[in-house]
């Protein structure tokens, strides 16, 4: 009988095979122009994947491609707004025409909003929803047909600690990341018989260009003080580095994680469990 378990591998590697290899894998990564998405793209390329970056900022995406190819990796970028389903479908069609398959999809594109319910405008709410929720849906929708045809694939979504704990002034952002977590579980359940795994990562604070820009814009002259204050909200005493998120993403998208699906992985320096 062809059970769901048989579709997810489970074979041990010999000692001379590289662990977490993505050799001959095709990976699509959204938001790969900066921060976590860029770190994931560079990590996957270093492990042998052919990486396709979907990024609204064409210049930033080109910089990531340049960084990857300078180290003999393989990457290509598409400028695309993930909230536009027509454009997303066109990009994914181009990817499958060029590569023949999609083995991995990482939904890392996202935006933040700092406000609570009464200060969240309809426009703010809609903007966060369009990118974080609809963008994730659009890309999964575009990839699922190819993965079903292959009877194999991995989807990794980027949620957040705010999907599990309350954080002040993050109303619309929390809404969006809660939706990402729920969509992850739904897709994992619905496509387990097609050999498709779906998980998500929930980072705490990560030191990205967004954090630096936020501090500079809101606390001019107090950048160092505020950076240290925000860092210490994690029990471990610092923010994560994007590369640390990339390493977890690598594991979850590799064959070594063939038994992992329908799971959320907090990577938060102890924020969820140790802050109570």
Which active-site residues does the annotation give? 173
Contact indicator for 204, 240 with CB cutoff of 8 Å = yes
Give the separation between CA 232 and CA 267, rounded to whole angstroms: 15
Give the separation between CA 113 and CA 128, rounded to whole angstroms: 7
Give the separation between CA 167 and CA 174, rounded to whole angstroms: 8
For the chain, helix (H) and strand (E) counts, in that order, are 10, 7
Dmax of the chain from CA atoms? Answer: 66
Give the separation between CA 248 and CA 180, rounded to whole angstroms: 18
- Which H/E stretch holds residue 141? helix 135-150
Neighbours of 38 (CB within 10 A): 27
Give the separation between CA 147 and CA 27, rounded to whole angstroms: 12
- Measure Cα distances from 266 to 10, 122, 135 in Å: 24, 30, 21
CA terminus-to-terminus distance, the chain:
47
Give the separation between CA 31 and CA 242, rounded to whole angstroms: 13
Closest CA to 54 of 37, 74, 72: 37
């Amino acid at each position: 009988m062809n059970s769901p378990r048989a579709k997810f591998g489970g074979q041990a590697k010999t000692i001379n095979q590289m662990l977490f290899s993505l050799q001959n894998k095709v990976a699509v990564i959204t938001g790969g122009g900066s921060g976590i998405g860029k770190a994931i793209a560079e990590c996957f390329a270093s492990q042998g994947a052919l990486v396709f970056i979907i990024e609204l900022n064409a210049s930033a995406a080109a910089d990531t491609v340049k960084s990857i190819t300078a180290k003999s990796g393989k990457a290509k970028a598409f400028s695309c707004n993930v909230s536009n389903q027509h454009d997303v479908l066109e990009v994914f069609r181009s990817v499958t025409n060029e590569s023949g398959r999609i083995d991995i999809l990482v939904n890392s594109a996202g935006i933040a909003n700092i406000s609570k319910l009464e200060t969240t405008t309809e426009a703010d709410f809609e903007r966060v929803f369009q990118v974080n929720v609809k963008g994730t849906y659009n890309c999964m929708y575009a990839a699922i047909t190819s993965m079903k045809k292959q009877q194999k694939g991995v989807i990794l979504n980027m949620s957040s600690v705010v999907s599990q704990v309350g954080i002040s002034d993050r109303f619309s952002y929390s809404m969006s990341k809660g939706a990402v977590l729920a969509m992850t579980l739904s897709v994992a359940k619905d496509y387990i018989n097609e050999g498709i795994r779906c998980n998500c990562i929930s980072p705490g604070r990560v030191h990205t260009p967004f954090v630096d820009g936020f501090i500079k814009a809101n606390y001019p002259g107090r950048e160092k003080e505020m950076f240290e204050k925000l860092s210490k909200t994690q029990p471990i005493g610092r923010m994560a580095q994007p590369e640390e998120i990339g390493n977890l993403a690598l594991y979850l998208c590799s064959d070594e994680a063939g038994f992992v699906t329908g799971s959320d992985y907090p990577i938060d320096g102890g924020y969820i469990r140790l802050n109570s």
